[in-house]
Amino acid sequence: ATGSSPGRGALIVFEGCDRSGKTTQTQKLFDCLVAMGRKVELWRFPERTTGVGKMIDEYLKSGNNLPDEAIHLLFSANRWETAPLLKSKLAAGVTIITDRYAYSGVAFSAAKGLDLNWCKSPDIGLPLPDCVVFCDLHPEKAAKRGGFGEERYENIDMQLKVYHQFQKLRQSDWKVVDASQSVDDMHEEIKTLALEAMDHCTSKPQQRSLW
Ligand code: 2DT
């Protein structure tokens, strides 16, 4: 035995507006890390398969009309219900890549007019990401990629407001990646960032929390 502990996994969060390539890039990063033999899982928020997640899914498909505050708290609860598993995976050395996290939670609700600090409060105490990759694509450009989908929020007015809120939330340590470049170039940039974050976790054993 080498005697060295494997260290904790990294929490790598992807954020950005719709059609900025988050889903493509999270999948590519996941496949690449698996091929490198790393312990890694691909997550997403909302996680629509849980009880809370099913309510969120219904809301997004406009099946129910909850007040903005109520749906905000459900999105947060959806993170909290999976947080124990998330924490234990990270502690066991599994790197978690996630397609959206609490920043989407705040950006979307604040875009609807809710107070930013109110929006942040229910997520206080969730695991702090080790790396936030912001897939930066202006919604006007995103719209040219073939239009938005059918779900609630998937329209240009909302996306512009969300983009603006993301700018407010953006912190100096965010990794802002130009999402107008090619899929492969973007992947190479992200791969480097992810590997750096994973290395860093060995020297930062303590998992910190939001915000
Ligand atoms: P997807 O299109 O990525 O499945 O997201 N959203 C997401 C919120 O309003 N609050 C949140 O906390 C999260 C995680 C963003 C579905 C939509 O849900 C929005 C788009």
Q: Which of 76, 100, 114 to mutate to test the pocket of ligand 1 (most atoms within 8 A of CB)?
A: 100
Q: How far is the CA of 104 from the centre of ligand 1 (A)?
A: 6
pLDDT at 127 over 70: yes
ipTM for the whole complex: 0.99
Q: How far is the CA of 6 from the centre of ligand 1 (A)?
A: 33
Q: What is the per-residue pLDDT for 2?
A: 44
Which three-class secondary structure state does DSSP give residue 176? strand
CATH number for the domain including 53? 3.40.50.300
Q: What is the per-residue pLDDT for 205?
A: 75
Number of domains in the chain: 1
For the chain, report the end-to-end CA distance as a whole number of angstroms: 38
Residues 151-160, mean pLDDT to the nearest whole number = 96
Q: Whose CA is nearest to atom 9 of ligand 1?
A: 108
Q: Which of 22, 26, 49, 104 to mutate to test the pocket of ligand 1 (most atoms within 8 A of CB)?
A: 104
pLDDT at 139 over 90: yes
pLDDT at 118 over 50: yes
pLDDT by residue (tens digit) across 98-114? Answer: 999 999 999 999 999 99
Query: What percent of the chain is predicted at pLDDT more than 70?
Result: 97
Mean pLDDT score across all residues of the chain: 95
Kind of pairing, strands 11-16 and 40-44?
unpaired
- Which residues, at least 6 apart from 167, have a Cβ–Cβ distance to it below 8 Å? none
Residue 4 lies in a domain: no
Q: How far apart, in Å, are the Cα atoms of 37 and each of 86, 95, 171, 196?
A: 20, 12, 31, 16
Residue 3 lies in a domain: no
Residue 107 lies in a domain: yes
Counting runs of H as helices and runs of E as strands, what totals does the chain give?
8, 5
Residue 30 lies in a domain: yes
Q: What is the per-residue pLDDT for 207?
A: 85
* pLDDT classification of 206: cutoffs 50, 70, 90: confident
**Cα-atom radius of gyration of the chain, to the nearest Å?**
17
Residue 44 lies in a domain: yes
Residue 210 lies in a domain: no
Residue 185 lies in a domain: yes
Q: What is the per-residue pLDDT for 204?
A: 81
Residue 142 lies in a domain: yes
- Is the CB of 211 inside a 6 Å radius of any atom of ligand 1? no
Q: What is the per-residue pLDDT for 1?
A: 40
Q: Whose CA is nearest to atom 4 of ligand 1?
A: 46
Rounded Cα distance between 21 and 94, Å, is 24
For 85, the domain range is 11-200
Q: Are 202 and 10 in contact (CB under 8 A)?
A: no
E strand map for 36-119: 40-44, 95-99
E strand map for the chain: 11-16, 40-44, 95-99, 131-136, 175-178
